Structure 1
Amino acid sequence: MDAVDSSLALAPPRVDVTASRSIGRRILGRAARSGGFRIGAVLLAGLVLAAALYPELSGIDPAMRDIRARLLPPLFLGDKWSWAHPLGTDQIGRDMLVRCLVGLRYSLLIGVASVAVTVLIGCALGTVAGYFGGRTDTVIMRITDAQLSIPMIILAIAVLGADRPTIPAIILVLGLSNWPVYARVMRSVTMAERGREYVRAAQVSGATHPRILLTLLVPLLVPPLLFTSVLDVARMMIFESTLGFLGLGVQPPTPTFGSIIADGRKYLLNAWWIATMPGVFLCLTLTAINLIGAAFERARNTIHGGA
């Protein structure tokens, strides 16, 4: 290999990966300076801290029943409220604030974990399809098309309805519902990158395909998708709540937003807070995540538009 090929094999990979990381830092920095990002970050941090600390500090079991305290209204309503239950109690005397915060824990856990599964599967298959092309690309894309043809709710009923749903099973179902979107994006970008000089130089220098994928393409292509995936966390939280409402989510006595709302729909006329409070917490969390995700999107579009 001549001197020109040697220089191509060494220099461009470092430059491109460094540039990608620099763009990621610029996106994060620009987003962090926006008002929407700050409001969303503060709101989300407050909700996460409350969910992590209050149930433990209060010492209240979210499944503990107290018939004598059933259907107590929140502090701001009525004349039968109790300081021990700031957001009231449900039909069997369980504390609504603790149940909503524990539900927030599980909703965030499932939302973040399912997006991680989505990104992992989608990016891996999309990168492989775009890099190798040919029959490999055809097979992966046909699998992708087949997955896109299956509605999420049908997949959930088929997998979760067969047995008692578990948290890993719910995460897997939600993760499998959206990976084709990431696979298609990664495939198209990888196909554009595989002909670049730094990839060809690495191939000429004897680098193996796994090494090229893991050390050159993945570090270059994945960071921009991570910002986009923030918005998918909110969508997965909605899906998780939908499954819980249908009885296909985390099973009782563990509280989740969907299951609490489903239990409270029978009491909308005389105890509306049972179904409303988890909805309020879910809306606040989704608002915070969407503000952060929208700030990332605006920052990325501004940087790429000005590049």
Structure 2
Amino acid sequence: MDAVETSLALAPPHADPAEARLMSRSIGRRILGQATGSTGFRIGLALVLILALAAALYPELSGIDPVKMDVRARLLPPLFLGDKWSWAHPLGTDQIGRDMLVRSLVGLRTSFLIGVASVALTLLIGCALGTVAGYFGGRTDTVVMRITDAQLSIPMIILAIAVLGVSRPTIPAIILVLGLSNWPVYARVMRSVVMAERGREYVCAAQVSGATHPRIILTLLVPLLLPPLLFTSVLDVARMMIFESTLGFLGLGVQPPTPTFGNIIADGRKYLLNAWWIATMPGLFLCLTLTSINLIGAAFERARNTIHGGA
């Protein structure tokens, strides 16, 4: 989470607000340009796009209902295994005849939606509170930081059990829980760098020229600090997808019959000896998705470190 500090270290203070913004955009473009030129980024992006398109289109185009039972097709193996496979179900079926490929892709769609939305919520809350605390300081900073410390003292799994255990674990509820569990990390980072930036010459020049506090925050500080956090948050999407799958496995995620990675794997663990593909196929999709996202995040991290080291 030192991406913001590192990026700011590359940008010397400027008296001109416009020049400061241009420097920030230049750093962001350099990081983005170097990251997108790496092989790891291209492989990760290609995998993410293929998986996202498959999850968005195949379940609809195939015409297969991911929750409809077909006991005549139960426990069919994948195409590459056994002698009872069917072209209609290339990755096999589960214990009540539901297609594993469609269910895995619908689970991927749900998991990816929850991961991206929860990280977006985390960024929104954390950046807003951290910026306000760092810019105004004093009593505002004290109140925000005490709330942050209180939130950090609650483990994510405990918060999930407390909220989802007493309410219906719908997709919005899970996004809310995951978003609320991680915002203090972003808030603390934003607070520290905003406190360092608020005394620079370009901020003082804007204050002297009569710019209001909201204008300074939204037009000067946020454009300067947000891009490095966006690069870092890519890895958080993978982490949120893992946690969403964990909740589903524990029965605290999206409830059946809606397929998710967690509840499919939880159902399939009973059939590992005679129908291992029920739990394995969604696990492979999850691993492939996480690997591709981590390749993209690692490319941003290497680009940031390279630019910082060469500065």
Counterpart Cα distance in 2 of 1:90 and 1:292: 33
What is the aligned-residue RMSD (CA, Å)? 1.0
Residue 96 of structure 1 pairs with residue 100 of structure 2: yes
1:67 aligned partner: 71
Counterpart Cα distance in 2 of 1:162 and 1:17: 47
1:79 aligned partner: 83
CA displacement 1:219-239 (0-9 Å, x = unmatched): 111111000000000000001
1:145 aligned partner: 149
Counterpart Cα distance in 2 of 1:57 and 1:117: 31
The worse-fitting range, judged by mean Cα deviation, of 296-305 and 261-270 is 296-305
Residue 263 of structure 1 pairs with residue 267 of structure 2: yes
- Paired residue type of 1:168: P
Counterpart Cα distance in 2 of 1:70 and 1:92: 5
1:178 aligned partner: 182
Counterpart Cα distance in 1 of 2:253 and 2:131: 32
CA displacement 1:21-73 (0-9 Å, x = unmatched): 11111111100111111111111111111111111110000001100000000
Counterpart Cα distance in 2 of 1:83 and 1:306: 54
The worse-fitting range, judged by mean Cα deviation, of 241-250 and 229-238 is 241-250
Counterpart Cα distance in 2 of 1:302 and 1:188: 23
Residue 30 of structure 1 pairs with residue 34 of structure 2: yes
Counterpart Cα distance in 1 of 2:263 and 2:26: 44
Q: TM-score, normalised by structure 1?
A: 0.96
Counterpart Cα distance in 1 of 2:168 and 2:45: 35
2:48 aligned partner: 44
1:295 aligned partner: 299
**Shift in Å, 1:187:** 0.6
**Shift in Å, 1:12:** 1.2
Counterpart Cα distance in 2 of 1:121 and 1:306: 33
Q: Pick from 214, 219, 234: which aligns with 2:218?
A: 214
**Shift in Å, 1:205:** 1.5
Partner SS, residue 250 of structure 1: coil
1:117 aligned partner: 121
Partner SS, residue 16 of structure 2: helix
Q: TM-score, normalised by structure 2?
A: 0.94
CA displacement 1:163-196 (0-9 Å, x = unmatched): 2111111001000111111011101110110000
- Paired residue type of 1:95: D
- Paired residue type of 2:235: L
Counterpart Cα distance in 2 of 1:44 and 1:205: 46
**Shift in Å, 1:266:** 0.4
**Shift in Å, 1:89:** 0.2
- What count of residue pairs does the alignment treat as equivalent? 298
Counterpart Cα distance in 1 of 2:40 and 2:210: 48
Structure 2 stretches lacking a partner, 5+ long:
1-13
Counterpart Cα distance in 2 of 1:118 and 1:12: 31
**Shift in Å, 1:305:** 2.1
Q: What percentage of aligned pairs have identical amino acids? A: 88
1:234 aligned partner: 238
1:198 aligned partner: 202
2:22 aligned partner: 18
Structure 1 stretches lacking a partner, 5+ long:
1-9
Partner SS, residue 251 of structure 2: coil
Counterpart Cα distance in 1 of 2:308 and 2:141: 28
The worse-fitting range, judged by mean Cα deviation, of 245-254 and 63-72 is 245-254
Counterpart Cα distance in 1 of 2:273 and 2:147: 48
**Shift in Å, 1:137:** 0.8
Counterpart Cα distance in 2 of 1:13 and 1:38: 35
Residue 273 of structure 1 pairs with residue 277 of structure 2: yes
Counterpart Cα distance in 2 of 1:305 and 1:171: 37
Retained in 1: the 8 A contact 2:67–2:258? Answer: yes
Runs of 4+ in 1 over 3 A off after TM superposition: none
Counterpart Cα distance in 1 of 2:45 and 2:212: 42
1:168 aligned partner: 172
Counterpart Cα distance in 1 of 2:109 and 2:291: 16
1:128 aligned partner: 132
Residue 284 of structure 1 pairs with residue 298 of structure 2: no
Retained in 1: the 8 A contact 2:15–2:205? Answer: no
